[in-house]
Amino acid sequence: MPGKILVTGGTGYIGSHTCVVLLQSGYDVHIVDNLSNSHQDVVDKIARITGKTPGFTRLDLCDKEVIYGFMKEHQDITGVIHFAALKAVGESWEYPVRYYHNNILGLLNLLNAMHESGCKNLVFSSSCTVYGQPDELPVSESAPLKKALSPYGNTKKMCEEIIEDHVTATSLNAISLRYFNPIGAHPSALIGELPLGVPNNLVPFLTQTAMGKRECLKVFGDDYSTPDGTGIRDYIHVTDLSQAHLAAIERLEKEKNTQPCEVFNLGTGSGYSVLDIIRTFERVNEVKVNHQIEDRRPGDIEKVWANPEKANRELGWKARLGLEEMLESAWKWEEALAQKH
């Protein structure tokens, strides 16, 4: 009988898609979110997709007493998937203390509250940013971690380390999932990514440009050592990513983990350049994207893609959807947003 899962940051982009698969798999779901980067109506959208309404509590994980009180009241929670964090790389350079405060303190309060209430299973949202520019590609989990390229990236690295130390000292079992580049949206176009202000990431900027909300997509550099000179990333469909969270929490709930603290790469194993993304988007959606080559963006790495074999083998999970499906769903989501406004 599946248990009750607490999803922190569950009204956000990846969290909302994960709530859908958890509910569809029979889990009870309770979301906590301070709504600093999402809207409460996402709860209704999740209910429309699944026919089940998750619990929702608006709270800030940085408020220690509140999360302690919440965990005490909800003793039936068997596992936590921790998405809640600030995530904008550029903004983290402007406000590093805000990023360290929110992402580190939020985790510390959550870990203590879980410990107090006896909740022993944690899945954590990490990122391939912990590898920096890897020496070898594809990058596997055993690759050395590099100095973070931003305060945001550093919070992910520090959180992984904190979790590892806490697992050593307590009976907590944890899985850190290192995402590559999540894009796309749910096929219903009811949930997706809602970037506030000007998007930093390629795909939301691209869809907004195609929609006419932005004039021109800047391609950051065409002089990298890649086949077409533009940067290469491993893009992964958010619905595939959400399935991996189900596999990870199930592994912990069924005590199938082989170590108390595990790490998995979540990517497709294939890398695509910025120009690949633009051309594929234009082809599958039959829309033009105005773009021009600009200077490199400071802090960008040249190329990275995952070796996802460990997740394939041990989580029994594999990314199934290709670039075309990712970019089709991203466009469908942008069109749905345009109809609302």
Interacting residue ranges for ligand UDP, rule: CB under 6 A: 181, 200-202, 205, 217-220, 231, 233, 274, 297, 300
DSSP 312: I
| 85 is a site residue for ligand NAD (CB under 6 A) | yes
If residue 106 lies in a helix (H) or strand (E), which one and from where to where? Answer: helix 106-117
Q: Which does 234 bind (CB under 5 to 8 A by kind): ligand NAD, ligand UDP, none?
A: none
First to last CA, the chain: 42
Nearest residue by C-beta to ligand UDP? 231
Give residues 64-83 in contact with ligand NAD (rule: CB under 6 A): 83
Catalytic residue among 13, 27, 131, 152: 152
Q: Which is nearer to ligand UDP, 76 or 324 (CB)?
A: 324
Q: Which stretch binds ligand NAD (CB under 6 A): 54-62, 214-222, 253-261, 289-297?
A: 54-62
Contact 336, 189 (CB under 8 A): yes
Q: Which does 267 bind (CB under 5 to 8 A by kind): ligand UDP, ligand NAD, none?
A: none
Distance CA 301, CA 198 (A): 21
Residue with tokens 């000179």: 229
Contact 236, 268 (CB under 8 A): yes
Q: How far is the CB of 101 from ligand NAD (least distance, A)?
A: 9
Q: Is 286 left (phi over 0), alpha (psi -120 to 50) or beta?
A: left
Q: Which is nearer to ligand UDP, 56 or 272 (CB)?
A: 272
152 is catalytic: yes
Locate 96 and state its tokens.
């590093």
Q: Which is nearer to ligand UDP, 9 or 231 (CB)?
A: 231
If residue 42 lies in a helix (H) or strand (E), which one and from where to where? Answer: helix 41-50
Q: What angle do CA 284, 222, 294 make, to 5 degrees?
A: 90
| 91 is a site residue for ligand NAD (CB under 6 A) | no
Q: Which is nearer to ligand UDP, 70 or 179 (CB)?
A: 179
Distance CA 271, CA 144 (A): 20
Residues that bind ligand NAD (CB under 6 A): 9, 11-15, 33-38, 60-62, 83-87, 102, 106, 125, 127, 179, 182
